[in-house]
A and B are shown apart, each in its own frame.
Chain A
Amino acid sequence: MNTREHAFKARLQGFEAPGEIEAGERGRRLVLAAFAERTPVRRRRARLPRIVWPVLAALLAAGAVAVAGYLHTGSSPRQEHAPFGVRVQDGVVLSLGRGVASTVNARGRVRALGPASDGDLSPHARNAVLASGSALVAVSVADGQVRWRVPASGPVSLPRWSLERTVPPCCRVAYLAGGALYAVGGDGRGAHVVAARALAVAPAWRPLGDGHELAFAAPGGIRVVAADSRRPIWGVRGPALPLALSWRADGGALAVLDASGATLYSATGKRLQRLGAHGTVLAGGFTPAGNRLVVLRRDTTGRISLLVRGASGPLRAVRHLTVTAAGDLRLSPDGRRALIASREGDEWLEIRLSDGRLRSLRDVGQRLRAGFAPRLLAWAG
Chain B
Amino acid sequence: MATPLSLKELSKKEVLLTAGHRMCSGCGAPLVVKMVLLASDYPVVATSSTGCLEVSTCISDYTAWKIPWMHNAFENSAATLSGIETMYRSLKKQGRIDKEIKFISFSGDGGTYDIGFQSLSGAMERGHDMLYICYDNGAYMNTGIQRSSATPLGADTTTCPAGSVVPGKPQERKDLTKIMAAHGIPYVAQASPSHWSDLMKKVRKALEIKGPKFMNIIAPCNRGWRSMSNDAILLSRLAVETCYWPLYEIENGVTRVNVKPKEKKPLVDFLKPQGRFKHLFAPENEWLLKRAQEDVDKYWERLLKEEEFTKPQEEAKE
- Are the chains A and B members of one assembly? no
